[in-house]
Amino acid sequence: MTQRIIGVAVLLLLLETCLAHAQISLLYPIEPPAPFVREALAHPYGRAVLAEFAKTVAASADTACLRSKALDAANLADRGRDIFQRYGTRSMEIIIGNFDVRKYEARISELAGAGAASELIELRNDADVKRYLILERPARLAKVFDFVVENFERYALITRINLRSFSGISTGNDELLRANPIEESEEAIERFVAANTSPRFRRFVELSEITAPAIMDAFNREFALKWGPTTFYRGVESDLAELCVIRR
């Protein structure tokens, strides 16, 4: 049951974000995974996590090996960016691949009327909706990136890779937790939604709330029951070996 809940929640993060407030729209057509992950990595929060990754690798790897390959902090951060770009993109592609777009469109039509999916897309051209999407963007990026990093850390743990956890969520690192934009973004979202009375924006919020059950109905839940860190990160030990990090 927990695996299923996690699976559905992450799909919603990839396709919507933050259902806790029921205020985030379906980004449909679905965003291409590679540019999305690249943007998350380029965000200040993504850069901060990569810097911590580099520190952790430097502390965990074989010193002589690092020296022989001339791998300093900058090089390790660059290598980390490549690892998370590739495996983060793969993670999103796997999850999105288990989403039935036609089933979603049919279900949202049942719930909100014919043309609702197209209307939701069209509403994204509204000035207030655009402002809203700008406000929630940092949370969207950070939530998905946190998922990508969390699964990497879990994979390293269960496969006994000699690399300790480094994310703010797993270590309580105050600097990383402060850099995480989720709380600030969500607070800005709440204020914006509460203050905005535009009919078109309210319609956008209404349709956004309806998307949640439509997405869940269109998602292959059996897949969510089976997935885990190995679904997304199998083989990453070879990449880490190139960074002089090996199994215990």
92 within some domain = yes
What is the helix, strand, coil percentage profile of the chain, to 5? 75, 0, 25
225 within some domain = yes
246 within some domain = no
Instruction: Report pLDDT for 213.
Output: 77
State how far the alpha carbon of 134 is from the alpha carbons of 195, 199, 202, 224, 246, in Å. 16, 19, 17, 30, 41
Range with lowest mean pLDDT among 7-11, 39-43, 188-192, 208-212: 7-11
Cβ partners under 8 Å of residue 154, min gap 6: 228, 229
6 within some domain = yes
**Domain encompassing residue 53:** 2-241
φ, ψ of residue 88 to 5 degrees: the values are -70, -40
Count of structural domains within the chain: 1
User: Is residue 49 within 8 Å of residue 175, measured between CB atoms?
Assistant: no
**Per-residue pLDDT at 19 exceeds 50:** no
**Per-residue pLDDT at 14 exceeds 60:** no
What is the distance between the alpha carbons of residues 23 and 28, in angstroms, rounded to a whole number?
15
pLDDT band at residue 83 under the 50/70/90 scheme: very high
User: Is residue 196 within 8 Å of residue 150, measured between CB atoms?
Assistant: no
User: Is residue 40 within 8 Å of residue 88, measured between CB atoms?
Assistant: yes
In this prediction the pTM is 0.85
247 within some domain = no
What is the distance between the alpha carbons of residues 31 and 232, in angstroms, rounded to a whole number?
19
